[in-house]
Amino acid sequence: MVNIKFYDMKKIGFIFLVAFFSLSLSAQNNMFVVYSMKGNVSIVENKTETKAKIGTILNDESVLKVSAGSFATLICNESRMFSINKAGSYTMGKFKDSCQVNKSSVSANYVKYIWSELTKSKGSPEKNRKAYMSNVGAVSRGVNNIWIDPRLDTVYYVSGTIPLSWKSYAEAEKFEFRLYDSEDAEKEIYFKSTDKKHIDISNLLETIQSGKSYWWTAMIKGENNDERKYLKYWTKEDYSDFYKKINKIENGAAETEAEKNFRLAFMLEEAHFLAEAYQHYLKATQLSADNGLYRFVFMSFKKDYEIK
């Protein structure tokens, strides 16, 4: 009998312990950061009101004041983006439901990247956007004197132009580029000898056809390279369907045109649409010329993909 009571007490104690930790977790403060804003938006903390800025960090106790005709878009806990566009004063603790993660989010990686940039300590260098993307290619299979960036394992093309590039471990003056219509084809459908370490996709337009897939490789003249990279020429209709999916920000959140173009550029790069990503990175820098992050990422993108 005593043993049974002792067991029950342990069980009750365990239940209370679980309940305590559950309450503790639910009571934890959320953290918000201002991602985008327009008009007159201010923050009230410790009875002091200040003008909101991109990157302003708030907690559950902060009060956000939005004037008529204005909006503020916030990221909560590194994972969720939402907007407040109705005039009024809002205690941030009321937006707990807006912090719940949507596992089906197509922009989750972008939100995490922007969160990391906006919340980093002042003076810290910009972080590598590619570390937040899920488009890393496979490790090189062959051992040769040519190295092709794994991020070029897959390239989707619609229009415009982008170089297919490589690097050489050996001193060489001549390289060969070969294009195939299947991964295991022995005979190429396009061949070019060049003294450069890239071939522009525009050179292939008389050979490739919309809606079809191809494989390519590069090698030092006279050597072999069995490693092949995937190139898909998308139809404009299929690309339009994909673009519509990412064009509108989730949860109805608001953003400026510059922020929209930068977000789309990030998501298009992650999805392997490099030529289209380039155009949106360029547009973002044009719309917000004084944005250091946009300039840095655009220059990094051009360097990564050998764009002059």
- Determine the Cα–Cα distance for residues 141 and 134; give it in Å rounded to an integer: 20
pLDDT for 260: 96
DSSP state of 111: H
Using alpha carbons, select from 253, 257, 297 the residue that is nearest to residue 278. 297
Within a domain: 128: no
- Say whether both 227 and 175 belong to one domain: yes
Token pair listed for 226? 């069995």
- Say whether both 161 and 217 belong to one domain: yes
- Determine the Cα–Cα distance for residues 293 and 308; give it in Å rounded to an integer: 20
Instruction: Return the CATH number at 209.
Output: 2.60.40
Instruction: Return the CATH number at 271.
Output: 1.25.40
- Say whether both 248 and 209 belong to one domain: no
Q: Which residues pair with 51 in a beta bridge?
A: 42
Within a domain: 272: yes
Reported as a pLDDT band with limits 50, 70 and 90, residue 45 is very high
pTM score: 0.84
Radius of gyration of the chain (CA): 26
Sign of CA dihedral 88, 93, 94, 97: positive
Q: Which domain holds residue 256?
A: 236-304
- Say whether both 281 and 229 belong to one domain: no
Reported as a pLDDT band with limits 50, 70 and 90, residue 66 is very high
Within a domain: 18: no
- Say whether both 243 and 176 belong to one domain: no
* Domain finish residue from 233, 261, 294: 233
Within a domain: 17: no
- Say whether both 191 and 221 belong to one domain: yes
- Say whether both 63 and 77 belong to one domain: yes
**Is it the case that residue 243 has pLDDT exceeding 50?**
yes
In terms of Cβ atoms closer than 10 Å to its own Cβ (0-12, 13-18, 19+), residue 216 is: buried
- Say whether both 218 and 244 belong to one domain: no
pLDDT for 9: 52
Within a domain: 2: no
**Total domains present in the chain:** 3
HEC per residue, 89-108: EEEHHHHHHHHCCCCCCCCH
- Determine the Cα–Cα distance for residues 133 and 156; give it in Å rounded to an integer: 16
- Determine the Cα–Cα distance for residues 177 and 73; give it in Å rounded to an integer: 47
- Say whether both 169 and 222 belong to one domain: yes
**Is it the case that residue 298 has pLDDT exceeding 80?**
yes
Most distant pair of Cα atoms in the chain: their distance: 90
Q: What is the mean pLDDT of the chain?
A: 87
For the chain, where are the E strands, in sequence order?
31-38, 41-45, 48-51, 57-59, 63-66, 71-76, 80-84, 88-91, 146-147, 154-157, 163-165, 167-168, 175-180, 190-194, 198-200, 213-220, 229-233
Tell me which of 142 and 246 has the higher pLDDT. Answer: 246
Contact 136, 151 (CB under 8 A): yes
Number of helices (H) and strands (E) in the chain: give both, helices first. Answer: 6, 17
- Say whether both 203 and 255 belong to one domain: no
Q: Which of 90-94, 140-144, 184-188, 282-286 has the highest mean pLDDT?
A: 282-286
- Determine the Cα–Cα distance for residues 154 and 232; give it in Å rounded to an integer: 8
Kindly state the average pLDDT of the residues 147-170: 93
**Is it the case that residue 153 has pLDDT exceeding 70?**
yes
- The share of the chain scoring above pLDDT 90, in percent, equals 68
- Say whether both 48 and 100 belong to one domain: yes
pLDDT for 19: 44
Within a domain: 92: yes
* Domain finish residue from 79, 108, 137: 108
pLDDT for 122: 77
Residues 70-127 pLDDT 10s: 999 999 988 889 999 999 999 999 998 888 776 667 788 999 999 999 998 877 888 8
* Domain finish residue from 207, 233, 259: 233
Kindly state the average pLDDT of the residues 158-174: 92
